[in-house]
Structure 1
Amino acid sequence: MQFFIDTANLSEIQEAFDLGILDGVTTNPSLMAREKVVGKEAVLNHYITICNMVDGDISAEVLSTDFDGIIEEGKELAALHPNIVVKVPMIKDGIKAIKWFTNNGIKTNCTLVFSAGQAILAAKAGATYVSPFIGRIDDSGWDGIDLIRQISHIYTVQGMQTKILAASIRTGNHIIACAEAGAHVCTSPLSSILALLKHPLTDIGLAKFVEDAKKMSN
């Protein structure tokens, strides 16, 4: 499973990259606003900076919700760097745009996916990635991991090539569950990635090793 970081914060991206496990980055308008990246030129330059930091797919989201607007924005984003993946919302015009991008060699990430039916449509349109929002599904009283498992089964049975990019990750355990359920990619905050490092028995064992190492040097 590939690891993407879901942020527009350059320091967090660098930390995940330095860890040696980073395969890509996902962003959205909310994450850009959080970093006070305001204005079209500033946003485009921020994407270029991220692409120069990470050799992997970088999802850049369109703001338009109509077909012509999505296409115009998507072409501009894709022209920034070969690693850009155009992030398109799961709406009717979004599916039409994904098909157009597919036919024209532009990679896409279909975002805001909450059902297997939506995932099927995205795959049929040729989306490179489909992004089920696990945490938000859990918040609504459903099981986000079950959706990952269902989409994975359908894609396998039907031979669909779209990658499942599990999004809206809240914890390290979410990442593990997504890996078990068949997600190809998991995008999460840095905190969830770093949580995978931690276990109390590791801390206890390391403390013992350090203590014994001091005895050996005396």
Structure 2
Amino acid sequence: MKIFLDSANLEQIRQAKALGAIEGVTTNPSLLAREKGDWKRAIRQICKEIDGPVSVEVIATEASAMLTEARDLVKIAPNIVVKVPLTLEGLKAIAELHRRGIETNATLVFSANQALLAAKAGASFVSPFIGRLDDIGQDGMQTLQDIMTVFRNYDLTTQVLAASIRHANHFFQAAMLGADAATVPPTVLFDLVQHPLTEIGLAKFLEDWKSR
């Protein structure tokens, strides 16, 4: 499973990159709004830091305006993937961008039906939001499993990118279900490294070494 970092903070991205574990980055308007300075410059720096895909979301709500934004976004760097919300207008934009050879990430996906439509339109990635489904009492992992089953039934090439990952168990379950990728916030990524037995074992080794 590919691991992407869900962040627009360059320092966080550099810290994650140093671990040798991330293969891409996802951003959204909320994440970019938290960063100071010119957002395009920030994206350009991220794209230089990361060789893999960097998802950047359109803020327009009509297909024609989404296409205009997308044309500008892909000029920033060659590894830009255009994030498009899964709406009727978004599907139109995804289909047209696919025809133009521009990679897309269908975001705000909450059902297998939406994911299938995005794949049929030519999305490069679909991003089911696991945590947000859990927030409203639905089973986010069941939705991810449903999407994986449908995609395997028809050998769809669109990659399933598990998003809204809230904790290490979400990450583990996404991997067990065979998600193509997961995007995780820095706190979750760093938490994946932690285990109490690792700390206990290390302390014991060091103690024994000192007493030699």
Classify the TM-score, shorter chain. Answer: over 0.9
User: Aligned equivalents of 1:202 and 1:21: distance in 2?
Assistant: 19
User: Aligned equivalents of 1:21 and 1:188: distance in 2?
Assistant: 11
Are the aligned partners of 2:26 and 2:183 in contact in 1 as well (CA < 8 Å)? yes
Give the structure-2-normalised TM-score: 0.98
Partner of 1:20: 20
Deviation at 1:26, TM superposition (A): 0.4
User: Aligned equivalents of 1:196 and 1:50: distance in 2?
Assistant: 23
For the residue of structure 2 that corresponds to 1:196, the secondary structure is helix
User: Aligned equivalents of 1:79 and 1:32: distance in 2?
Assistant: 18
Structure 1 unaligned blocks of 5 or more: none
RMSD: 0.8
Deviation at 1:159, TM superposition (A): 0.9
User: Aligned equivalents of 1:143 and 1:65: distance in 2?
Assistant: 28
Deviation at 1:80, TM superposition (A): 1.3
User: Aligned equivalents of 1:34 and 1:65: distance in 2?
Assistant: 22
Partner of 2:76: 80
Deviations 1:5-37 (A, max 9, x none): 111111100000011111000001100111234
How do residues 6-85 of structure 1 correspond to structure 2 at under 5 angstroms? 6-37=6-37, 42-85=38-81
Structure 2 unaligned blocks of 5 or more: none
For 2:116, which of 106, 114, 120 is the aligned residue? 120
The alignment-based identity, stated in percent, is 49
| Partner amino acid, structure 1, of 2:126 | V
Segments of 4+ moved more than 4 angstroms = none
| Partner amino acid, structure 1, of 2:203 | A
Alignment pair present for 1:157 and 2:156: no
Partner of 1:97: 93
Deviations 1:134-163 (A, max 9, x none): 100000101111111110111011111110
Partner of 2:205: 209
Deviations 1:166-208 (A, max 9, x none): 1111111111111111211110111101111111111111111
| Partner amino acid, structure 2, of 1:19 | L
Deviation at 1:114, TM superposition (A): 0.2
For the residue of structure 1 that corresponds to 2:94, the secondary structure is helix
| Partner amino acid, structure 1, of 2:70 | G
